[in-house]
Structures are given as C-alpha cells and as structure tokens.
C-alpha cells in the first residue's frame, strides 16, 4: 500500500492523468498478488522434498521386492 501511494504520487508529479495513474497502480497491485513469497517458496521446497523422498523410498521397496521375488522363484 505504501508503495502504491508513492507510485501514484510519482506518476501524478510527471503529469499522468489521475485515472491512468490509478489504473497503473491497480495493475501493479494485481500482479504483485501472484508473486511468490520467500516463505511460500520454502514451504513448496519442503513439500517437494517430502514427496520425492516418499517416491524414492517406494521405488526402493519395489526394487528390493522384485529382486527378492526373482531370487525366490528362480
């Protein structure tokens, strides 16, 4: 919000019409809502790490079971 007011004031200082300055500020605020935060990226990394660990563990268990079955039935 603080940045929005500063941007609006800067645009008005260079003679941008009020409606257009407000439109620029609104567009910027809309775009900034979609930006990732540092905390959001940390949480995503943790979820991905957990997911990959579970998948790798599952593949390891399947491989050991497959090799055991081959040895048992061969």
pLDDT in tens, 10-56: 999 999 999 999 999 999 888 888 788 899 999 999 999 999 999 99
Domain definitions of the chain by residue range: 1-35, 38-74
The pLDDT of residue 1 is 62
Structural contact between residues 7 and 25, judged by C-beta atoms closer than 8 angstroms: yes
Confidence of residue 65 (pLDDT cuts 50, 70, 90): very high
pTM above 0.85, yes or no: no
The pLDDT of residue 41 is 95
The pLDDT of residue 31 is 82
- C-alpha 36/C-alpha 59 separation (Å) is 32
């Amino acid at each position: 919000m603080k940045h929005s007011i500063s941007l609006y004031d800067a645009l008005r200082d260079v003679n941008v019409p009020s409606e257009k300055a407000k439109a620029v500020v609104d567009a910027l605020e809309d775009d900034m809502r979609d930006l990732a935060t540092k905390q959001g990226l940390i949480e995503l990394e943790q979820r991905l790490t957990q997911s990959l660990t579970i998948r790798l563990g599952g593949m390891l268990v399947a491989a050991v079971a497959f090799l055991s079955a081959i040895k048992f039935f061969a």
